[in-house]
Amino acid sequence: MYATLIPFDESIKLIAGAAWDNSRLNSILVDKERTYPKLGLILKPWNGSAVRIAYIEMMQRALPAGQTLEPVQVAGFSQMYDDPFGTKSRQIAGAIDQRVGPRIYLGASASGRWMGIPYTAFDSLGQPIGASTPWKEEREAAYIRWLPTDSIALSFQIVKERFDRTAENQGTGAFLFLKQVRAPVTVQWFSPSGISASLRATYLHQNGIFCEAGAATCNLEGEETTTMYDLGLSYRLPRRIGSISIDVLNIFDEKFRYQSVDTSQLVPFTGRAAFARISLVF
């Protein structure tokens, strides 16, 4: 259940929600029934500005379709993540967005997530028991977008992330901690004919402590830095019925070591990747 409240005018919005869960993950890991609150606040203190704050608790359900009809975001912050089934998480996030004149937009955000990851452990008699291990994620980001003309858009973003895990349950990432900095610079061009193009250069830096393959030992320090270039072309179909796009990622075929922590972002660290997409609107 969710509700959006406007106590005075559009300058203040309150988002309040809750999800009740009573799920069984398997015969060992059982989640007791519990209500998870979701709270959000959106303030517009002056023209062209927005301040967003959110507190979100969540449980990753073991459903074939992922989640339910809950909204993906609360106050503009995502509450849906690709966590292991049964993960209980608590998130605090804040952001500020500001328009400077008619063509410049900038902002910054910060968030932290604290998770309890379920896994199967064993007692002193070798019997399987349900256990939970704490994970932590931190994220700070800033961006600026500039529209110098009606057909050209420039943007720069920098994202700093840290992921902390435990030796008892490292997940599929096989690391104890990982620091990551991403800084994409994007140039986009739009034509009234429906044709558009984009070129993006992304600076990537990672360092952390990784685990040996097939072992529980986690003492391998590693670091990698690279810059990757992506190219995109798109055509908007007549009468706005859809679009056709072609994207080429890592166009210079850079090879580098990269630890993926977000399955929603495709990073072709082993070579070039190209794909086409057709989207139709009915």
Q: What percentage of the chain carries pLDDT values higher than 90?
A: 57
pLDDT mean over 166-175: 78
pLDDT mean over 231-255: 92
What's the confidence (pLDDT) of residue 212?
76
Rounded Cα distance, 138 and 125, in Å:
38
**pLDDT tens, position by position, 36-47:** 999 999 999 988
**What pLDDT band is residue 216 in, cutting at 50, 70 and 90?**
low
For residue 21, how far is the Cα from the chain centroid?
23
Q: Which of 246, 163, 256 is nearest to 203 (CA)?
A: 256
Residue scoring higher pLDDT (65 or 77): 77
Q: Which of 82, 79, 77, 106 is nearest to 94 (CA)?
A: 77
Mean pLDDT of the chain: 88
Residue scoring higher pLDDT (37 or 282): 37
For residue 34, how far is the Cα from the chain centroid?
25
What's the confidence (pLDDT) of residue 276?
95
Residue scoring higher pLDDT (191 or 60): 191
Whether the pLDDT of residue 79 is over 60: the answer is yes
Opening angle at CA 162, ends 108 and 99, nearest 5: 10
Lowest-pLDDT range of 40-44, 92-96, 117-121:
117-121
What's the confidence (pLDDT) of residue 25?
63
Tokens 């927005």 correspond to 50
What's the confidence (pLDDT) of residue 271?
81
**What pLDDT band is residue 174 in, cutting at 50, 70 and 90?**
confident
Rounded Cα distance, 244 and 229, in Å:
21
Pairing, β 77-78 against β 88-100 = unpaired
What's the confidence (pLDDT) of residue 53?
97
What's the confidence (pLDDT) of residue 65?
55
Q: What percentage of the chain carries pLDDT values higher than 70?
A: 90
pTM reported for the whole predicted model: 0.84
What's the confidence (pLDDT) of residue 90?
96
Rounded Cα distance, 182 and 141, in Å:
9
pLDDT mean over 100-122: 91
Rounded Cα distance, 32 and 17, in Å:
20
- Tokens read off for 103: 């063509």
- Exposure string of 18-53, with b = 16+ CB inside 10 Å and e = fewer, is ebebebebeeebebeeeebebbbbbeeeeeeebebb
